[in-house]
Amino acid sequence: MRDFYGVTLDSPLMLGTAQYPSPAVMEAAFRASGASVATVSLRRETGGGQAFWQIIKGLGLHVLPNTAGCYSAREAVTTARMAREVFETNWIKLEVIGHADTLQPDPFGLLEAAETLAAEGFQVFPYTTEDQVLAQRLVDAGCRVLMPWGAPIGSGLGLNNRYGLRMLRAAFPDIPMVVDAGLGLPSHAADAMEMGFDAVLLNTAVAQADDPVAMATAFGLAARAGRMAHGAGPMAPRDMAVPSTPVIGKAWL
Residues 6+ apart with CB under 8 A from 169: 177, 195, 196, 197
Taking the C-alpha atoms of 224, 227, 231 and 232 in order, what is their torsion angle to the nearest 10 degrees?
60
> Which residue in 180, 32, 176, 35 sits closest to 105, CA to CA?
180
Assign 182 to helix, strand or coil: coil
CA distance 170 to 164: 10
pLDDT at residue 42, as a whole number: 79
The model's pLDDT over 204-247, given as tens digits with 9 standing for 90+, comes to: 999 999 999 999 999 999 999 999 999 999 888 888 888 887 76
The low-confidence residues of the chain, meaning pLDDT below 70, are: 1, 43-50, 247-253
Average pLDDT over the chain, rounded to whole?
92
Task: Compute the residue count for the chain.
Answer: 253
What letters, b where the CB count within 10 A reaches 16 and e where it falls short, cover 163-198? eebeebbeebeebbbbbbbbbbbbebbbbbbbbbbb
- Is 93 noted as a catalytic residue in this protein? yes
Q: Which of 44, 93, 144, 227 is catalytic?
A: 93
